[in-house]
Amino acid sequence: MGCKAQVRFMSVKTALSRSGLPDLEYALNPYVGCQHGCLYCYAPNYVGDTDVKANWGRLVVVKENLGDVLLEEVLKKKRGVVGLGTITDAYQQVESVYGLARLSLKILLTHGFRVSIQTKSTLVIKDIDILMKYKDRVDIGFTITNPNYEKAKPVEPCSPPPAERIKILRLLSETGLKTWVFIGPLIDFRDGEFEKDMEKLILQVKDYVDVIYYDHMRLKPSIYLLDDPYRLMLVKSALNKDTLLRIIENLCIEHGVKCKPAFSDIKQQKLHGNTLDEVNG
Ligand code: SF4
C-alpha cells in the first residue's frame, strides 16, 4: 500500500532532536515529506523545503547518512525515549527500500534508548524481530481516523486500510508489545455517523491497546487550499471540536477504555505528533 513518490537524498548533521512532547526526550525522522499524503496533514505548513511542501505526498527526501550520524550521537547523548516518526511517517513506503527506520531502531535499542513509534503503516511488522527482542523498551501506536476504508481513503489516500492497521495492531499486541491508538484528527464526515464510527473503532481496538489518544482537527493554512467538500468537512470538524471531543470521551467512559487527549494544550502546536521547532529537524 502506498503511492509512488519521487525520491531525493540529503546529508544531515544531526539525527536526534530534542522533543517537547510529553514522555519523549528525542525525536527522530528518517524522511522529509510523507508519501501517505493525508489531506489533513499539518506538516506541510512547517516544512522548510519548498519542493517537498509543494509536492506533499509526491516527493520524499531520504536522510542518507542518518545511520552514521545516529551511531555517533547515541555514544554521546544521555539515554532517553525517542519518538520515531514524530513529524512524518517513518514507515511510509520508501522505508521498504531504504530501511532507515529499521536501522535507527537497531542503533537506538542496542545502545539502551527506548523507542516510541507512531505510524499509519503496516510495514512496521517487518521489524517484528527487533521489536520483540527489545519489547520492554518499545511501544507502537497506530493512527486511525475512521474504521471504514471508504471514508478514510479520500483523506488518507496512500495509507493502508484501517482494517489492516488494526490487524497488525492486534498482532503486535498479542505478542506482548505495548501498543496504543491515536484517533486524530477527529473528522466528522458529515454523514451523521461520527458517533457510530468512533464506537466501532473503539470496540475494535480496545482489547489491544494500553491507551487511546485523541485530538481534534486544527485549522492550518494548507486546509484552506483544499477543494470542497474536504475543506468544508475539515473546517467544520475543527469548529465543532467540542462536540466531537465530548462524544469520544463519553464513548471511552461507556466502554471502560483508558483514553487521553494527545495534546493538553494548543501551546505545543502538534503536527503529526511533534512540536513545530522539530519539523524537518
Ligand atoms: S498525517 Fe502523518 S501519515 Fe499523513 S501525510 Fe502527514 S505525516 Fe504522513
The DSSP line for 224-276 is GGSPTTHHHHHHHHHHTHHHHHHHHHHHHHHTT--EEES-S-GGG--SSS--G
Question: Predicted confidence band at 114 (pLDDT cuts at 50, 70, 90)?
Answer: very high
User: Would you state the pLDDT for residue 275?
Assistant: 40
Distance between Cα 271 and ligand 1 center (Å): 9
Cβ–ligand 1 contact at 47 (below 6 Å): no
Test site for ligand 1: of 86, 89, 92, 119, most ligand atoms within 8 A of the Cβ: 89
Question: In angstroms, what is the span from residue 89 Cα to ligand 1's centroid?
Answer: 6
Q: Identify which of 3, 29, 34, 47 to mutate to test ligand 1's pocket (most ligand atoms within 8 A of the CB).
A: 34
Question: Would you place residue 208 in the very low, low, confident or very high pLDDT band (cuts 50, 70, 90)?
Answer: very high
CA distance 126 to 31: 18
Q: Establish whether the linkage from the previous residue to 157 is cis, with ω within 30° of 0.
A: no
CA of 191 to the centre of ligand 1 (A): 24
> What average pLDDT does range 2-16 have in this prediction?
94
Mean pLDDT of all residues in 188-200: 97
The mean predicted confidence, pLDDT, of the chain is: 92
Please report which residue ranges of the chain form alpha helices under DSSP H.
Answer: 50-54, 66-76, 95-98, 100-110, 128-133, 149-155, 162-174, 194-205, 230-239, 241-254
- Is the CB–ligand 1 distance for residue 155 below 6 Å? no
- Rounded to 10 degrees, the C-alpha dihedral 57/59/65/66 comes to -10
Does the bond joining 162 to the residue before it have cis omega, within 30 degrees of 0?
no
If DSSP codes are grouped into helix, strand and coil, which group holds residue 30?
A: coil
pTM for the model stands at: 0.93
Ligand 1 in reach of 89 Cβ (< 6 A): yes
Mean pLDDT within 210-217: 97
Q: Which of 112-121, 193-202, 212-221, 263-272 has the lowest mean pLDDT?
A: 263-272
| 104 Cα to the center of ligand 1, angstroms | 20
Q: Give percent of the chain above pLDDT 70.
A: 93
Query: Is pLDDT above 90 for 277?
Result: no
CA distance 137 to 85: 16
| Cα of 76 from ligand 1 centre, angstroms | 31
What's the CATH code, domain 6-270? 3.20.20.70
**Structural domain spans, the chain:** 6-270
Extract long-range pairs of 94-97: CB within 8 Å, 24+ residues apart: 94/5, 94/7, 94/31, 94/35, 94/60, 94/62, 95/30, 95/31, 95/121, 95/123, 96/123, 96/126
pLDDT tens column, 214-241: 999 999 988 888 888 899 999 999 999 9
> What percent of the chain clears pLDDT 90, i.e. is strictly above it?
85
Would the CB of 2 count as within 6 Å of ligand 1?
A: no
**pLDDT tens per residue across span 125-182:** 999 999 999 999 999 999 999 999 999 999 999 999 999 999 999 999 999 999 999 9
* Closest C-alpha to ligand 1, atom 6: 41
